């Protein structure tokens, strides 16, 4: 092995976690090589947040993450916080803004975040090879990484190869394959933060484009935000959040009028607007097309005064607790993240080193750590990358 092909550390993946880790290790004087098979580093950062990169959230907490081991994230999130990342942006004079739910976005393009990380890597002497696809990893005394542009060796190896979402951004299953190769347990992967497909009749298509503020509940978790009707099913932030908790066959419950107890409102209308039809009254609260769709098969054309308690309860249930059973998700093509991944019980939550294989580290989305929508996944990439970078 030529001297120039040997490094203290090789990091596979020049995404959010890999670049963060590389600059942190480089600053400690480590000789670091990052291998990236896409032509450019940080492809997912560039598309994140609709091109404006929702890079973190003001309210990061372990409750915002799903993992087989819910405490795993605590240490790294405390050691490299959202405020640490904000300070880094400020040092580089990257302008940002706060949006709802404490979400922080770049004011300009997400490119500023990638440029910042590349600059930090450059200052730290990190070498980045793009267009370099890792095919295989072997371990003798050191690690040997086989790529389409030759072999590289290192004392430590960091897997920052991300998840399976958005295949066109360069996503591969390499991280999971390496783990399996070394006997490290991997939790089944599923698309996360993903629209849901419904098998409703063709009338459902008429709802496409409608957006309502609703509360969506699944498996004991509820999210209040916009629900968007698509021609194939449901999307929007509240649905994407719920999708992280949804499994095939589960029902989701949507309260389309989360601020209104419809049974009480119907009783009020009976007193105040007795001659108005239920359908017309509901159309003052929700889009007409949605009311028409949900009231199909129900008798809602009569004046509200003509309805008894039982009827009103039935109507209220449809709008306050609309129950749907999605058929499937839209898959990795439309998913923002991958659920499941490297079992966190296999790693040190402090160093991210494998408990089984010395000097092998896993960081970022490849782990069984899935954040909510709102900047939490990138914060996880920053925190895990930075912390591993202190030890490799």
Within 266-305, the residues that bind ligand FAD by CB under 6 A are none
Helix (H, G, I), strand (E, B) or coil at 185: coil
Nearer to ligand FAD, 104 or 262 (CB): 104
Nearer to ligand FAD, 128 or 278 (CB): 128
Say whether residue 240 binds ligand FAD (CB under 6 A). Answer: no
Residue nearest ligand FAD (C-beta atom):
15
Q: Please identify which residue in 16, 60, 106, 347 interacts with ligand FAD, judged by CB under 6 A.
A: 16
> What's 220's DSSP letter?
T
190 and 337 in contact (C-beta within 8 Å)? no
Paired with 303 in beta bridges are: 277
> What's 38's DSSP letter?
S
Nearer to ligand FAD, 36 or 343 (CB): 36
Say whether residue 12 binds ligand FAD (CB under 6 A). Answer: yes
Cα separation of 49 and 79, whole Å? 25
Within 34-93, the residues that bind ligand FAD by CB under 6 A are 35-38, 43-45, 47-49, 53-54
Say whether residue 162 binds ligand FAD (CB under 6 A). Answer: yes
381 and 163 in contact (C-beta within 8 Å)? no
Nearer to ligand FAD, 132 or 290 (CB): 132
Cα separation of 191 and 103, whole Å? 22
274 and 266 in contact (C-beta within 8 Å)? no
Say whether residue 192 binds ligand FAD (CB under 6 A). Answer: no
| Burial state string for 153-174 with b = 16 or more CB within 10 A and e = fewer than 16 | bbbbbbbbbbbbbbeeebbbeb
280: tokens are 């017309």
Nearer to ligand FAD, 279 or 336 (CB): 336
Smallest distance from ligand FAD to CB 368, Å? 12
Smallest distance from ligand FAD to CB 289, Å? 28
Cα separation of 163 and 168, whole Å? 12
**From 16-24, 216-224, 288-296, 350-358, span contacting ligand FAD (CB under 6 A):** 16-24
Smallest distance from ligand FAD to CB 66, Å? 13
Nearer to ligand FAD, 217 or 230 (CB): 230
Q: Please identify which residue in 18, 191, 195, 236 interacts with ligand FAD, judged by CB under 6 A.
A: 18
**49 — phi, psi (to 5°)?**
55, 40
Cα separation of 330 and 192, whole Å? 10
Q: Which of 126, 134, 188, 183 lies closest to 161, judged by CA?
A: 134
Tell me the site size for ligand FAD, rule CB under 6 A.
39
Nearer to ligand FAD, 21 or 266 (CB): 21
Say whether residue 225 binds ligand FAD (CB under 6 A). Answer: no
Say whether residue 170 binds ligand FAD (CB under 6 A). Answer: yes
Smallest distance from ligand FAD to CB 160, Å? 5
Smallest distance from ligand FAD to CB 43, Å? 5
Q: Which of 371, 392, 296, 279 lies closest to 77, judged by CA?
A: 371
Say whether residue 14 binds ligand FAD (CB under 6 A). Answer: yes
Q: Which of 378, 377, 374, 381 lies closest to 98, judged by CA?
A: 374
Q: Which of 392, 310, 379 lies closest to 62, judged by CA?
A: 379
What are the counts of helices (DSSP H) followed by strands (DSSP E) for the chain? Answer: 12, 21
Within 320-379, the residues that bind ligand FAD by CB under 6 A are 336-337, 364-366, 375-378
107 and 79 in contact (C-beta within 8 Å)? no
Say whether residue 160 binds ligand FAD (CB under 6 A). Answer: yes
Q: Is the dihedral of CA 335, 340, 342, 346 positive or negative?
A: positive
Nearer to ligand FAD, 165 or 255 (CB): 165
Say whether residue 22 binds ligand FAD (CB under 6 A). Answer: no
Nearer to ligand FAD, 82 or 215 (CB): 82
Task: Return residues touching ligand FAD (CB under 6 A).
Answer: 12-18, 35-38, 43-45, 47-49, 53-54, 133-134, 160-162, 165-166, 170, 172, 174, 336-337, 364-366, 375-378, 381
């Amino acid at each position: 092995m030529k001297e120039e092909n040997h490094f203290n550390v090789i990091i596979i993946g020049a995404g959010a976690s890999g670049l963060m880790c590389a600059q942190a290790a480089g600053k400690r004087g480590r000789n670091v090589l990052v291998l990236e098979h896409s032509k450019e580093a940080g492809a997912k950062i560039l598309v994140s947040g609709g091109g404006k990169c929702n890079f973190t959230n003001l309210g990061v907490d372990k409750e915002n993450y799903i993992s087989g081991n819910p405490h795993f994230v605590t240490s790294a999130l405390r050691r490299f916080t959202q405020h640490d990342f904000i300070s880094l942006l400020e040092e580089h004079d990257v302008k940002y803004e706060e949006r709802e739910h404490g979400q922080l976005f770049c004011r300009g393009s997400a490119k500023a975040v990638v440029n910042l990380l590349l600059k930090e890597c450059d200052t730290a002497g990190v070498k980045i090879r793009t267009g370099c696809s890792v095919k295989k990893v072997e371990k003798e005394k050191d690690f040997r990484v086989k790529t389409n542009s030759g072999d590289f060796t290192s004392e430590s190896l960091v897997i920052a190869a991300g998840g399976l979402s958005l295949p066109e951004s360069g996503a591969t299953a390499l991280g999971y394959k390496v783990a399996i190769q070394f006997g490290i347990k991997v939790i089944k992967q599923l698309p996360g933060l993903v629209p849901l497909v419904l098998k409703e009749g063709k009338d459902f298509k008429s709802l496409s484009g409608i957006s309502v503020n609703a509360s969506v509940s699944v498996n004991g978790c509820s999210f209040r935000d916009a629900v968007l009707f698509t021609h194939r099913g449901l999307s929007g932030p509240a649905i994407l959040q719920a999708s992280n908790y949804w499994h095939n066959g589960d029902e989701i419950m949507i309260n389309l009028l989360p601020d209104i107890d419809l049974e009480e409102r119907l009783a009020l209308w009976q007193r105040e607007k007795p001659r108005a039809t239920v359908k017309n009254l509901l159309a003052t609260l929700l889009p007409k097309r949605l009311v028409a769709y949900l009231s199909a098969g129900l008798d809602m054309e009569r004046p509200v005064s003509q309805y008894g308690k039982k009827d009103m309860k039935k109507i209220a249930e449809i709008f306050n607790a609309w129950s749907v059973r999605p058929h499937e998700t839209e898959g990795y093509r439309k998913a923002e993240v991958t659920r499941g991944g490297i079992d966190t019980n296999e790693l040190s939550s402090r160093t991210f080193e494998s408990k089984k294989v010395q000097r092998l580290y896993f960081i970022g989305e490849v782990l069984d750590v899935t954040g909510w929508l709102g900047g939490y996944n990138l914060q996880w990439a920053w925190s895990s990358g930075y912390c591993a970078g202190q030890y490799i």
